[in-house]
Structure 1
Amino acid sequence: MQFEQCAQLGVQGEAESVGPQVWLAGFPLAGSDPGEGQQFLLDHAAEHGNWILFTPDASLALTDLGVLLRDQRVGETRLTRPLFVKEAWLESEYYRDRLPLEGVMD
């Protein structure tokens, strides 16, 4: 991906079971237990001073990193699915209140 394309990227989501694995400080953000994922983000925020946000759909985000951790049903279980979002979107009530941020934005 070229820099010009990265600058215009609004949201990047990773599939919980078939997409590439994404790690944050050694924790797998895709395909983990949702409770463990939220606890990891809370611990990471406490340790590193990240800004946290609980979204209206009960997802947890580290706004300064642009990481939004959602969960999704896969078969009989629920697994984490990270979204990488522009920090400005997570700080904006307009975008934050219109989750999911996975569709086309007007």
Structure 2
Amino acid sequence: MTSPWHVLTEAEREQWTYTPWVSVGPLRFGMSHDEATEALPGFAASVSVAHRDFGQPMKAEFRNPCVPAHGVAVTAYYDSSEGLFCVVVDARYGPQVTLDGIRLVGRVPSRLEEQFLGYVLERGIAPQYAPEGDPASDDLGIVMRVQRAGDVVLSRPVFAVVRERANTLWDCVPYDESGVR
């Protein structure tokens, strides 16, 4: 039996790549839920409505069969007019997502922040922080959230595209993803 705070090792995680504004692994921004389900064979999805968000987008939680039944690996949010607009990768059970070789999932936040800020500064991108102090980049479509795993906190990236009626990336992050887990 695994611990209730079990975290997958790097070897146990699928390996995905993030292309800003385009895709997170096999998930492409703008795709429908049916297309996302086809892109994630072997994952089981449960779908609900994100009631606290404007427009009540659809929320799909994808579970990997290799982890406990309660363990969500990836959460996807869809808008009826724009399709997939936000992907959140779980720190404990999600795939490892890299951006130009930087591992973004399940990392100690201070170490990732240092590497992430170096990455954005090298590219002339102004460093940003979300309201809770999480490193972010509107230019890259990333907010580096955190998630508790027992006595530690690990990185749980939120990837999104700026939608209608939004001024910043943070405005597009679903309310369900705006709090620390």
What's the TM-score, normalizing by structure 2? 0.48
The higher relative CO (CA closer than 8 Å, separation ≥ 6) is in 1
2:144 to 54, 66, 69: 69
Please state which structure has a larger fraction of its residues in strand. Answer: 2
Please state which structure has a larger fraction of its residues in helix. Answer: 1
Match in the other structure for 1:56: 131
**Residues 17 and 2 (structure 1 numbering): CA distance in 2 closer, same or farther, change over 3 Å?**
closer
Give the AA of the match of 2:92: S
Q: Tell whether 2:31 aligns with 1:5.
A: yes
Please tell me whether the aligned partners of residues 22 and 28 of structure 1 are also in contact (alpha carbons under 8 angstroms): yes
List, as ranges, runs of 4+ consecutive aligned residues in structure 1 with deviation greater than 2 Å: 1-4, 87-90, 98-103
Gaps of 5+ in 1: none
2:168 to 91, 96, 102: 91
Query: CA offset at residue 101 of structure 1?
Result: 5.9
Match in the other structure for 1:28: 103
1:81 to 136, 156, 163: 156
Match in the other structure for 1:102: 177
Identity %: 28
Match in the other structure for 1:45: 120
CA RMSD of aligned residues (A): 2.8
Structure showing greater Rg:
2
Q: How many residues align?
A: 101
Name the CA distance, whole Å, in 1 between partners of 2:138 and 2:169: 11
